[in-house]
Chains A and B, each alone.
Chain A
């Protein structure tokens, strides 16, 4: 039987607002399959977003959903998670939302290793506002605020996340869909801060400006540009030009997790006090 997405989508919300050919819908479906595979209770899931195209995703899902301010999803989510540490907190954020205005919260959430999953929808642009360049726009490409070719330099989000302390770092793409399902499941199952950068296609604000005539051209560019990390590491240096690894790029199990460490301290205090008062 075909997968029944309707079980997870709030009634009457489709068709969604994303442009024709925007792959956010594809990633959205992958996310729903990943959540379904874990048999989670919808009451136990919170999805938090900032501002931007990706931030509209929580509006469609039948979970506890919170659409916050630009760049601030992670810290709203930290409040939710600390208040209810046994619940699943999922954060969706665009490349600008997560690494430009939200950059400070991004590195601190990684450092803190708090148990939540951040999906960074990287479409290389600020789509909602019409195609300005972002901290991930490739050097030399065009954007409405870099009309003569981008002369700014891009983050590599997985390296940023790993350097800041995230204990699960992966990269998926909207083309390699079955692999994406597995990555999201692995990220959500990991105890600690999980970051999944998901390469996405924005035909309207990014593709058209950069000679991608159709959404499919963007998807095919993804197909060519991303190589499973195991194969990528075997490639000779000259072959890795213009290519990036995807899959699970870093995973450290058993690292102390922030909520666990905090509430272990609470327990220690309770035993010491012997009061056991809530």
Chain B
């Protein structure tokens, strides 16, 4: 029987992690995500899990990777400034293919910005924050219930594809309290990393001959293997100036690109016959839904495409939408970032207009409704 609770978004994130089997959290205090850490600090020790507050966000990210290598499902939670600090180690986890989850509760940026206000201007950093070519999976829940389920999904995707997964939601969604149904154990699927079946001396930690996601042994279980941030061969040892580097980089990207249908999730609301569509996620997605209803009440055929997976970007859905809608409106708590992706995928087939607000308050439904009406 699922349990109804009134939970804050950040708490729901922590509960989602616990539901997914997480036994390791490392973090550092930062508004507006500290409640995730505080919740884990209360819950993990009671379950024999590891809670670590580290000396900075770099250390927290490193400890999470260490915890995961030792067999724990591990995650960290932060906000803009901490997310910037974690980028190098996030890239390390991508190249060494160590499952982990990074939660970014977004606030006004850049710099110290508006710590207690919502923001969505980190979204490109969630895609390209760390240096080099790399895959990126970033989930964008907009409701407290969704934060719970998307956090579970983040762990599952990170274990299944041996790659870090980012969960990004803005401060408003993170701090708001809503009723939530916590599913009973087993109701939502929980995925664990594939372990090797070969004997230790034959184990190759990055052997892709059987598929793009090599099985992963945990440290200290007899598979004494090597993990390095240098480009490496199937046996985990450094290689340089070798075709292997190119093919391996392609494999790292392919793990996400070739599995979009498994990874991508979008919410379509009254979109089928929409003349004017809104493309929005997070708190903007909620305002957009209200605006769509207001428009429909005025006889305007409006609809909403709300990605739960912002990276990989829903290119096909936006392309199809641009072929049938007259305009796509993109409200963002930034000066326009996802706007460029929507424009890229629309290829000029329809008008694409952004609504931008970075004054520390969410975009209101009325603002979106006004632009829907103008777009007719």
Chain A residues engaging chain B, CB cutoff 8 angstroms = 10, 42-44, 46, 48, 51, 58-59, 62-69, 72, 75-84, 87, 104-105, 108, 262, 265-266, 269-270, 273, 277-278
Contact = CB atoms under 8 A, between A and B. Distances in A.
B226 A58 contact: yes
Nearest to A259: B50
Contacts of A68: 62, 65, 92, 229
B367 interface: no
A51 B69 CA distance: 19
Contact of B59 (A10, A63, A78, A262): A78
B69 A65 contact: no
10 contacts: A51-B229, A66-B219, A66-B228, A68-B65, A69-B92, A69-B229, A76-B62, A78-B66, A83-B74, A105-B55
Contacts of B63: 75-76, 78-79, 82
B26 A44 contact: no
Contacts of A42: 224
Interface in B67-101: 67-72, 74, 88-89, 92
A105 B59 contact: yes
Given A75-B63, A78-B54, A83 B24 contact: yes
Contact of A44 (B92, B220, B228, B237): B220
Interface in B226-244: 226-230, 237-238
A67 B228 contact: yes
B71 A83 contact: yes
A265 B52 CA distance: 13
B56 A266 contact: no
B226 A67 contact: yes
Interface stretch (B41-49, B206-214, B296-304, B344-352): B41-49
Contacts of A65: 224-227
Interface residues on B, range: 35 or more
Contact of B227 (A51, A66, A273): A66
Q: Is the interface of A mostly helix, strand, loop or mixed?
A: helix
Contacts of A10: 226
B235 to A, nearest CB: 9
A58 B48 CA distance: 30
Contacts of B69: 66, 79-80, 83
Q: Is the interface of B mostly helix, strand, loop or mixed?
A: mixed
Contact of A67 (B65, B219, B229): B229
Nearest to A87: B220
A64 B227 CA distance: 9
B333 to A, nearest CB: 32
Contacts of B222: 43
A37 to B, nearest CB: 20
Given A59-B238, A68-B92, A83 B67 contact: yes
A278 B47 contact: yes
Interface string B221-265: 110111111100000011000000000000000000000000000
Given A84-B70, A84-B219, A265-B45, A79 B64 contact: yes
Contacts, number: 132
B48 A79 contact: no
B24 A79 contact: yes
A77 B69 CA distance: 10
B91 to A, nearest CB: 9
Contacts of A46: 219-220
B46 to A, nearest CB: 5
B227 A67 contact: yes
Contacts of B62: 68-69, 72, 75-76, 78-79
A176 B5 CA distance: 65
B58 interface: yes
B47 A277 contact: yes
Contacts of A48: 66
Given A58-B226, A64-B225, A78-B66, A83 B46 contact: no
Given A69-B62, A83-B66, A273-B46, A43 B226 contact: no
A76 B66 CA distance: 5
A81 B64 CA distance: 11
A73 B225 CA distance: 17
Contact of B224 (A62, A67, A82, A108): A62
Nearest to A78: B63
Contacts of A79: 24, 26, 52, 62-70, 74
Contacts of A277: 47
A72 B226 contact: no
A78 B48 contact: no
Contacts of B72: 83
A59 B222 CA distance: 17
Contacts of B65: 68, 76, 79
A97 B24 CA distance: 26
A270 B46 CA distance: 7
A72 B55 contact: no
The 8 closest A-B pairs by CB, nearest first: A79-B66, A83-B70, A79-B63, A67-B228, A75-B62, A75-B59, A108-B55, A64-B219
Nearest to A65: B226
B89 A69 contact: yes
Interface string B172-188: 00000000000000000
A105 B60 CA distance: 11
B58 A59 contact: no
B238 A75 contact: no
Contacts of B67: 79-80, 82-83
